[in-house]
Structures are given as structure tokens and as C-alpha cells.
Chains A and B, each alone.
Chain A
């Protein structure tokens, strides 16, 4: 099978770990600390588990009535003066955005963070058509300058050290490579971005939630960059996934109490901004994007992933993500949520992702909207196995062990001739002793002279 296109997260994670003794431990430590803050904030809310259940139900209700709420949102946003567009896929989204920008003669656009725009690969598309695109979120800007996608949906550059950033800024904007003080580096980009906000012909944002009953959409940031992009340039374009709908204003109370506590262990993001129609003297375009979501709604095992509010808590809590770094997933969405979303875009390319998990289940328990992430990872493995995408080593050994394990006489015959017993173990545990991945960092269990079965036969029969 041609696997040139296939992402290999295990290999990439290994490179991240072996790269040096700094990056992976730092990455793990920061995200673990974020989880600790999240736990403390959640514990301070007596109704936390009740809120998760309500949030989950609101999302399930919305998704099972999605056509109705999308039409209501469109009607109410239009009534308030917004222009609403519908994009079937990434290409349409990008074309729509480009044509709005072209119609307004925009040459330079400043944007805040939007995973949907990442998903659509919008920035390279617009740049190839001559539009200058500046990321205004600090983490996104760092990644843009480094030519990398975000490695985390909330902390895009969390895998980088301050030294990495200082060196990057020295190369790209000419600052002192030895000054790696985060305050300095943040100030550099504040001063770098200000003139761009003022010069931009348009500001783009994503949308965290869209409220059907009022035609409002919400954007949550800590920097206030989305608000500058929306309030200074004359044109505001927002890209919103169709699954972002909630029915009512009061629903936002539930989601905002959960979102930032889950994401970063703070009660809210610094700015929770609500846009209902264009600002005074401005123009507002909303692009509602499908890009596979309506199809996913029809997947019985996987449609619950549409409940996701993009908090990133599953990534922070994931022991595998923390050791791998987000770039190892080779996809727009990384971590546990990425493992269940990415295959809906390309099953073969992302066929290894569901195996990059210990199925520990922490993601399911942390999810503020109760997506059964771990179970979905398990179910994606079944999909990949059916399609024949199981890693080769597993396929070979399972064909042997699957048969033997169903036939006790063969099993015990093998157990008997295999001296010591460990020589049999590879068939279901160690797989391939010539590669011996078990033994690279581990000793083998000590050899026993008598199996439990032999002991039992000698002592109890």
C-alpha cells in the first residue's frame, strides 16, 4: 500500500521526544499545569457535572434540529444587516472570502485565530491571490512566521521555548536574539501588529458560538485581537462552522461557564465578545461552512463529535498528546479530538491516528460537552481495521493469535513447547522480536518456571 500520504504520529512523536531534553518535558509540564488549574476551577463550581450534562443536551438538541436553527440564525442575522453566505466546502469558503475582499478592494487583511480557517487552508489561498494576511493572535503569529500550522487549538505555539521564539523574531522582525523575555516578545508583536490593524482593509474572525434566536455570534479571545479586527477596519468577515449553533441567548451562560475553565483554567477568556449585525459604519459578512459536517451528522458512531466547542481540554489531559506535541498528528486538529475529527476528512491519510492513543479515557471524562471521545477512538480503530489500514505488524500477528487464542489445545501446546514462556508472548504482545520495540527501553519480565495453569493442575485438580 502506498503510504506516502499517510501520517505517522508515532514516528513524529518519537522525534519530538528525542529532539532534546527540553521541549517535550516543557510541553508536558505546561499542559499538565493547565489541567491542574482546570481541575481547581471546575471543583469550585458545585454544579460542574450538571453543567456538562446540560451543555451536552443543548448541543444534541441543536444538532438534531440543525436545519431549523441555521435558518433561524440566517434570518435573524440578515434582519440585523449582516450578509450571510453558505459554503459547502473549504474551496467555496475561500472563494467567498476572496470575492468579498476583492469587491471591497482589500489588499491587506488582519485575522484572529480560527481553526475553521486553518481547516480550509484559507491563508495560503488568499496569499496566492495577492492578499496580505496577518495573524494577530500572538501564538498564531509565531506559527505563521515559522511557517508551521498551530500545534494546539488554544495554545498554537505551546511546543516552542522562549528561546525558539526569540530566535524566530530575530530572524523575521530583527529583534535581539538573546532577549527571550516573554514580556519583551509580546510587546514586540503588539507594536508590530498595531499598524497592521490600522492599515487593514478587513478584519476576519471565527466564531465560538452562533445564537439562532438573535443572529448573534460570539468570539472568545484573551488578547482582544478579534475585537480590534472587528472594530477598526470597515469590513468584518466571520467564518463559522454550522455546528457552532446554539438556540438561545441563555444557552451561552452554560457554555461560557464551561469553555475557558476547561480550556485554560480561567473563569472566562478576557474578552467574550458578541456580534449582532454590523457595527455602526461597518459591514459584516458571515460565512457558514459545512466542509463535511452535514455528512458527519449522518455517522451514527461519530456525529457526537459535532458537539465539540474547541476548548482543547482533551489535548491538555491526554498523556500521549503531551508527549507528542501537536504537530506529530500532521493534521488541523491534534490530540484526542483530532484523532476522531481528522479521519472524517481523509480516512487513509489519518488511519494511524486512532492508534496513537492508550484509550485511557481521560479525554471523555474531561470533555465539557461529554463527547465520548475515547469510545470514538476505539470505534475508529474498528473502521481502520475493516478497511485494512491496521499497521502491518498487528495484522500479521493477530491473524496467528486470533486463531490460536480461539483454540485452547493449540494454545496450550504452544505454551508447552515455548521454553521459556516469554518466547510465546511475542505473538500477542511483542509482535516482532527482530524489531523488539518492547526491549528498547524496557527489560522483559522475569521468566517463570511454571505457569499458573500448571500450578493449578498440580495443586488443585
Chain B
């Protein structure tokens, strides 16, 4: 901003003048050991607490059939995964506004976190970021072998320098802003179902 071009220097100058004399070292963050952590069951328990659900769908066919059971009335199913075709491919979406009518969005998460039940979704997984939050319902494919223990492990895996958007999503959208009563589906997805399914090596459908 041309009007405030000196503010940067004023702020940094004031900081340099005022910074406390004692220089504190950055502490080491230890690796906290939690031996024998049952990653998948802890992940599922935490996911459930967060309002999500998980399903061992086994195969691609199992995934398709679970999708139909969970969302029988879905008209627009927008998929970002090769395993499930859906009614709309997210790769074809040019503008996020086109996702306003999506009933179910489908995406694969890179990994999950046992400690929280959260999954990690990035711009590259979603193709269009808004798929994560404009879809009325979300289905997320997750390889059950890709679950890490805690948030420290999780941040050792993420590459924030390689994606413009990354989200730890823990269950569906929620609010407790009216009398502290928990309600799901405040603004983002109303439901979040995780399908345990390793990535398929076959070429994408369509």
C-alpha cells in the first residue's frame, strides 16, 4: 500500500527497540512415545467422537454400494478419486461456484491421525478446494495403513511448501453456538464418512 509504505519499517523498528533482552532458545520438541498404540481403532474412536463414521468397504464395489446406502437420494456426486466415478468429475470444474449443487463430494486423504481422528486433505487431493466444504456430504477414502499416531507425526508428513491449501479435517462441520448444543452441518459438510480402502492401481474410471 503506497499510503502506508513506512509502516513496515516503523513496526520492525519498534520491535527491534523493544524486544526483550533475554533471548530465549527454540526448545527441542521431543518424540513422545506411545508404544503399542492401536492406530486404526483409536482413529475410528476419535472420528466417531468428532461426529464422523468409518467403514471397512473392502473393495471398490463395496465402496460404490456403501455410497448408495449412505446417500440414496444424491443427485450430484462429485468425485476427485479414480475409484468412484460419481456424476461429475472435479477435474472438469472450472470455478468453485459450480460446486454449489454438490450433494456428495468424494476425495482421498493422504493420511489420518489416530490422536484426533482427523484426515489430511490438500489442494492436490481436492483439485478444487471448495469441494471439501461446499459438498453437502463428504466421503473420504483412506488407506488404513496410512494412519499416524499424533499431531507431531502428522506435521512431519505434511509439506506446506508444496500445497496452497491443506486441512486437517476432523469429522463434519459443527457448531455449538446456540446454548452449547452440538449441531453438525453448520456451514461445511453435514456428514463425513471415511471408507477404508487402499489406493487402486487400475486406471481411473471414465
Contacts and interface: CB of A to CB of B under 8 A. Distances in A.
Given A253-B29, A295-B18, A223 B174 contact: yes
A87 B133 contact: no
Contacts of B16: 67
Contacts of B170: 266-272
Contacts of A248: 26
Given A61-B25, A268-B116, A275 B164 contact: yes
Interface stretch (B5-13, B60-68, B103-111): B5-13
A395 interface: no
B170 to A, nearest CB: 5
B164 A277 contact: yes
Contacts of A281: 95
Contacts of B117: 267
Given A186-B175, A249-B158, A298 B17 contact: yes
A297 B18 contact: yes
A14 to B, nearest CB: 23
Contacts of A225: 186-188
Contact of B177 (A58, A67, A137): A137
B167 A274 contact: yes
A96 interface: yes
B19 interface: yes
Contacts of B116: 267-268
A326 interface: no
Nearest to A27: B180
A186 B183 contact: yes
B136 to A, nearest CB: 10
A222 B1 CA distance: 33
A380 B172 CA distance: 43
Given A88-B7, A231-B96, A214 B189 contact: no
A271 B167 contact: yes
A303 interface: yes
Interface string A271-298: 1111111111100000010100011011
Interface stretch (A5-13, A157-165, A448-456): A157-165
A290 B11 CA distance: 7
Given A66-B15, A211-B160, A256-B151, A275 B173 contact: no
B123 interface: yes
Interface in A45-63: 46-47, 50, 53-54, 57-58, 60-61, 63
A300 B22 CA distance: 11
A30 interface: yes
Indicate the size class of the contact surface on chain B: 35 or more
B90 interface: no
Given A86-B11, A225-B188, A279-B123, A271 B50 contact: no
Given A186-B186, A270-B172, A86 B15 contact: no
A310 interface: no
B130 A253 contact: no
A58 B27 contact: yes
B104 to A, nearest CB: 16
A55 to B, nearest CB: 9
A70 interface: yes
Contact of A276 (B161, B169, B187): B161
B165 A275 contact: yes
Interface in B2-43: 3-4, 7-8, 10-12, 14-20, 22-27, 29-30, 32
Contact of A182 (B4, B128, B178, B189): B178
Contact of B129 (A183, A227, A251, A295): A227
Contacts of B194: none
Given A88-B4, A190-B186, A250 B152 contact: yes
Contacts of A295: 14, 18
17 contacts: A30-B180, A33-B180, A58-B27, A70-B11, A95-B3, A139-B177, A157-B177, A158-B180, A222-B175, A253-B154, A266-B50, A267-B115, A274-B158, A275-B165, A276-B165, A290-B7, A303-B20
Given A182-B183, A280-B164, 12 more contacts: A63-B20, A67-B12, A138-B186, A160-B178, A193-B187, A222-B174, A227-B133, A242-B15, A253-B152, A267-B115, A280-B128, A290-B7
Nearest first, the 7 A-B pairs at minimum CB distance are A224-B188, A298-B18, A139-B177, A223-B186, A294-B14, A231-B129, A182-B178
